[in-house]
């Protein structure tokens, strides 16, 4: 469980840099909402990471199959994030986008190895709690780019801010050096490179069938759709409401973080009693209705106390929903092909955040923030309906070797 804290923090930090710190930096430098929304496309490596996941499942370095890859990508993240602040958003937007794309690639690749590592060290009965702790540490990492870095930006140059932010990746590097490689049999080594590409999919099809697999993929894409869209431009939204960067750092980010952590940890513990299927139903319902809080914030005159309440309730739903969602994804994979199958499923889960979120700036410009958040709430409904087939309330939950 302590290792899950390290994997979560290391995994979440670079993503939050891309979706919180970079948009705030661009908006503060006068970049339009439409252009900022398009920056979501730099997260495409999260969607396509399953293409190179078989390499990470097959080839090992001296530090081990998982730890070697994790270390390489963590080192690359420290360097690439530090260089981001050297550019001027007003005149070097394309260069920033290119470097941010590299950050996304290193981050997505690190996630492949981290997710597989976590799947291997957790026993089946520990998946709910272990993934919940991972997600809460993931959320906790948002304190750095979403709070500390924004506060520092009011007092120092953005170049210094990005250098300081990048150094927090050292926490993940220290974890990688301290932990041991998981014990495993040599079954995966018997597969050649060609087999490693197709064997994970064949194993999924043998278990789920074509219809079952399509339903699972559709659920993974749609379950967090409304939630991901609602929070895609949260920092620019707070800025447009008139809050300062310090207020956002101290109030909005902390009001988002701690309820999400509480919700996630509570969700992990409740899943021991409820099971993953029932948790998806209950937590997903809370997640859906909490999105409407943003519509309230957009409709009424914003105050700090209203901001804290609305954001806190929204992220309580986020914490609960994400805890059940990540446990579901882990449960649907096989340990033998952990890296490739988890990369495939988490890539599907990132589609709303990368593709759909790229259009959020245009949608807001057309219909305004209030109607936008109503739209986000309505888009959460299809994913809930799919629970009837992928996670029935009373169905027995199975795990796979």
- For the cut 70, the answer to whether the pLDDT of residue 87 exceeds it is yes
Q: Which pLDDT belongs to residue 193? A: 60
Q: What is the DSSP letter of 61?
A: B
Q: Which positions ≥6 away from 303 have C-beta within 8 Å?
A: none
Rg (CA), the chain: 20
- DSSP helix, strand, coil percent of the chain (3-state; round to 5): 80, 0, 20
- For the cut 80, the answer to whether the pLDDT of residue 368 exceeds it is yes
pLDDT (average), residues 370-387: 93
Specify the DSSP element, H or E, that contains 166. Answer: helix 158-167
User: Picking from 25-34, 77-86, 359-368, which range would have the lowest pLDDT averaged per residue?
Assistant: 25-34
pLDDT over 70 percentage in the chain: 93
Q: Which pLDDT belongs to residue 106? A: 97
- For the cut 70, the answer to whether the pLDDT of residue 285 exceeds it is yes
Q: What is the DSSP letter of 191?
A: S
Q: Residue 28 in contact with residue 245, Cβ under 8 Å?
A: yes
- For the cut 90, the answer to whether the pLDDT of residue 301 exceeds it is no
| Closest C-alpha to 204, from 391, 347, 329 | 329
- For the cut 80, the answer to whether the pLDDT of residue 253 exceeds it is no
Q: Which pLDDT belongs to residue 347? A: 81
- For the cut 90, the answer to whether the pLDDT of residue 386 exceeds it is yes
Q: Which pLDDT belongs to residue 382? A: 94
pLDDT band at 287 (very low <50, low <70, confident <90, very high): confident
pLDDT (average), residues 387-399: 76
Q: Residue 353 in contact with residue 213, Cβ under 8 Å?
A: no
Q: Which pLDDT belongs to residue 12? A: 94
Residue 275 corresponds to which tokens in the numbers above? 């099971």
Q: Residue 132 in contact with residue 264, Cβ under 8 Å?
A: yes
Tens of pLDDT, residues 187-225: 455 456 666 778 888 888 888 889 989 999 999 989 988
User: Picking from 19-23, 40-44, 183-187, which range would have the lowest pLDDT averaged per residue?
Assistant: 183-187
Q: Residue 319 in contact with residue 261, Cβ under 8 Å?
A: yes
Q: Which pLDDT belongs to residue 176? A: 94
Q: Cβ-count burial of 91 within 10 angstroms (0-12 exposed, 13-18 middle, 19+ buried)? A: exposed
Q: Which pLDDT belongs to residue 162? A: 95
For residue 104, CA distances in Å to 84, 93, 97, 113 come to 12, 16, 10, 15
pLDDT band at 143 (very low <50, low <70, confident <90, very high): confident
SS (H, E, C) 129-153: HHHHHHHHHHHHCCHHHHHHHHHHH
> Would you call 280 helix, strand, or coil by DSSP?
helix
- For the cut 90, the answer to whether the pLDDT of residue 109 exceeds it is yes
Confidence (pTM): 0.73
How far apart are the C-alpha atoms of 242 and 222, rounded to whole Å? 32
pLDDT band at 15 (very low <50, low <70, confident <90, very high): very high
Q: Which pLDDT belongs to residue 169? A: 95
Question: Interhelix angle for 93-121 vs 338-354, to 10°?
Answer: 140
**Can you spell out the DSSP letters for 321-336?**
HHHHHHHHHHHTSBST
Residue 147 or residue 118, greater confidence: 118
pLDDT (average), residues 52-61: 84
pLDDT over 90 percentage in the chain: 28
Q: Which pLDDT belongs to residue 399? A: 55
Residue 356 or residue 123, greater confidence: 123
Q: Which pLDDT belongs to residue 327? A: 84
- For the cut 70, the answer to whether the pLDDT of residue 11 exceeds it is yes
pLDDT (average), residues 380-394: 90
Residue 385 or residue 40, greater confidence: 385
pLDDT (average), residues 140-147: 87
Mean pLDDT estimate for the chain: 85
The residues that bridge with 400 in the sheet, in sequence order, are 334
- In order of their start, the domains of the chain are 2-390 (1.20.1250.20)
| Closest C-alpha to 320, from 289, 273, 272, 279 | 279
Q: Which pLDDT belongs to residue 293? A: 87
**Cα 282 from chain centroid (whole Å):** 21
């Amino acid at each position: 469980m302590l290792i899950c804290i390290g994997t979560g923090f290391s995994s979440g930090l670079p993503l939050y840099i891309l979706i919180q710190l970079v948009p705030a930096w661009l908006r503060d430098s006068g970049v339009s909402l439409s252009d900022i929304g398009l920056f979501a496309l730099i997260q495409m490596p999260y969607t396509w990471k399953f293409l190179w996941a078989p390499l990470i499942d097959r080839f090992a370095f001296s530090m081990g199959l998982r730890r070697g890859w994790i270390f390489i990508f963590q080192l690359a993240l420290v360097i690439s994030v530090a260089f981001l602040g050297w550019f001027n958003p007003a005149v070097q937007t394309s260069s920033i986008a290119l470097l941010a794309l590299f950050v996304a690639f290193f981050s997505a690749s690190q996630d492949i190895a981290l997710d597989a590592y976590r799947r291997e060290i957790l026993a089946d009965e520990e998946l709910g709690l272990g993934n919940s702790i991972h997600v809460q540490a993931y959320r906790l990492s948002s304190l750095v780019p979403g709070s500390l870095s924004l506060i520092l930006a009011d007092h120092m140059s953005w170049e210094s801010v990005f250098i300081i932010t990048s150094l927090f990746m050292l926490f993940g590097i220290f974890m990688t050096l301290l932990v041991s490689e998981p014990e495993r049999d040599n079954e995966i080594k018997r597969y050649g490179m060609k087999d490693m590409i197709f064997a994970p999919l064949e194993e999924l099809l043998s278990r789920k069938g074509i219809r079952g697999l399509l339903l699972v993929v559709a659920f993974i894409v749609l379950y967090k759709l409304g939630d991901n869209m609602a929070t895609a431009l949260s920092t620019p939204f707070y800025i447009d409401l008139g809050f300062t960067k310090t207020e956002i750092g101290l109030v909005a980010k902390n009001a988002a973080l701690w309820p999400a952590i509480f919700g996630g940890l509570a969700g992990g513990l409740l899943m021991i009693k409820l099971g993953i299927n029932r948790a998806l139903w209950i937590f997903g319902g809370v997640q859906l209705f909490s999105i409407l809080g943003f519509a309230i914030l957009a409709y009424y005159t914003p105050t700090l106390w209203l901001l804290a309440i609305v954001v806190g309730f929204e992220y309580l739903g986020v914490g609960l929903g994400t805890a059940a969602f990540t446990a579901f994804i882990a449960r649907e994979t096989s340990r033998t092909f952990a890296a490739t199958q988890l990369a495939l499923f988490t890539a599907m889960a990132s589609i709303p955040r990368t593709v759909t979120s790229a259009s959020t700036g245009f949608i807001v410009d057309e219909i305004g923030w209030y109607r936008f958040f109503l739209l986000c709430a309505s888009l959460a409904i299809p994913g809930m309906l799919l629970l009837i087939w992928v996670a029935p309330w009373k169905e027995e939950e199975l795990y796979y070797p």
